[in-house]
Structure 1
Amino acid sequence: MQKPLDALDWRILDCLQKDGSATAAQVAEKVGLSQSPCWRRIQRLEQEEVITRRVALLNRKAIGLNVLIFSHVKLEAHSGDLLDDFRERIRRIPEVQECFVLMGQVDFLLRIVTRDIEAYEALFFEKLSKLPGVREINSMIAVSTVKETTELPLPGVAA
C-alpha cells in the first residue's frame, strides 16, 4: 500500500521533475534533508511508482522532427479485439508520441511528430490509414507552441 505523500515528498518530486538527473545529494540540499533519508524517499517513490522513470527530454526540432500533428481517430466499431489490436499497433509506431482514449465523437487522440509534411503523408498512407477498424482520421498541424511542459502541478509546492 502506498504511503501518503508528505510535504518533503512533494518538494522532492518538484526538484526531480525539474531536473531528473539531480543526485540524491543535490535534491537533499534543495529540500533541506540529509542525503541518506532523501535517497530512501526517492527509492520509495520509485518503488511505489510515483516516479515512473527519469529521462532526457530532447528538442524535437534540433533532431529534425519539425512537424507536430494532432490526429483524431474514429473506429468503425468498439469491439474488444478491435480496440486491443489498434492499441497494440499504435504503440509500435515511433512517430506516435502519445495516444489517448477519448469519450465523445472521436475515439483516440494521437500526438505525432515527423520530419516534414511529406513524412506525415507517408506515415498516414502507409501505416495510420491501414490500422484495423479505422473509419476516419482528422489531422491538424500545430503551427507554433504556446506552452509545452512535462512538469505536473503539485499540491503544496509554490509556483
Structure 2
Amino acid sequence: MTTSIDRIDRRILEELQADASLSASALGEKVGLSQTACWRRVQRLEEEGVIRKRVALVDARAVGCETIILANVKLTAHGRSNLEDVAERIREIPNVLECFVVLGSQDFFLKIAVKDIFAYEKLFFEKLSTLNGVAEVRSSVALSQIKNDTALPVTETSGKT
C-alpha cells in the first residue's frame, strides 16, 4: 500500500516523533490545522500504517539496563525455514531490543540491553547459544553511546514525497 504524505503530514510526523503525547489540539496548533482536521490526519496516518504505534521512551539506566551488547549471529544453514525459526525465537527474548537480518559473513545483528556483563553471560548461555540453527554468536560490549534517536527524517528531501 502506497501512502501519499504531504508537507503537513510530514510536520505532524516530526512533531509526534518529538512528543507523541501531544493532544490533537496542541498538535494542530503547531502544524497550522484545526483540532478536528489534525485528528483526522493522525487517524489516517495510523490506519495506513505510517504511524505504527505511540510509545514512551524509557531511560535504560533508570530500569537497570546499564549494558548494551551488540551481537552478530551466524546460522548453521541458510534455508528460509531456519532463518524464520531462529528469528521467531529471537523475538521472544525481551532483552533483544533490535534484530536485523544482514548480508555478509553473519546472518543477524542484535542490540541487547542487560543489567551487566553477568546478566549477558546468563542470557548467552541460557538462550542465545541454545537456539537450534545458531552456529556462532560474536558479541561486543558498547562502551558509550554517541547517538540514540528514534525519530526518522521525514522532511521532503529525506526520501519519497
Give the shorter-chain TM-score range. over 0.9
Aligned to 1:57: 57
Q: Report matched runs for 1:60-79 at 5 Å.
A: 60-79=60-79
Task: State the one-letter code of the partner of 2:12.
Answer: I
1:40 aligns with 2:50: no
Aligned to 2:12: 12
Aligned to 1:53, what secondary structure does the other structure show? coil
1:114 aligns with 2:114: yes
Q: CA deviation at 1:2?
A: 4.1
Task: State the distance in 2 between where 1:101 and 1:80 align.
Answer: 12
Aligned to 2:125: 125
Aligned to 2:82: 82
Aligned to 2:101: 101
- TM-score (normalizing by structure 1): 0.95
Computed over aligned residues only, the root mean square deviation of the Cα atoms, in angstroms, reads 1.1
Aligned residues: 157
The 3 A distance-change label for structure 1 pair 45 and 107 is same
Q: CA deviation at 1:81?
A: 2.1
Task: State the one-letter code of the partner of 1:36.
Answer: T
Identity %: 52
Aligned to 2:91: 91
Q: Which residues of structure 2 form unaligned runs of 5+? A: none
Q: Deviations over 1:51-101 (max 9, x none)?
A: 000000000011110000000000011122211210111010000111100
Task: State the one-letter code of the partner of 1:120.
Answer: Y
- TM-score (normalizing by structure 2): 0.94
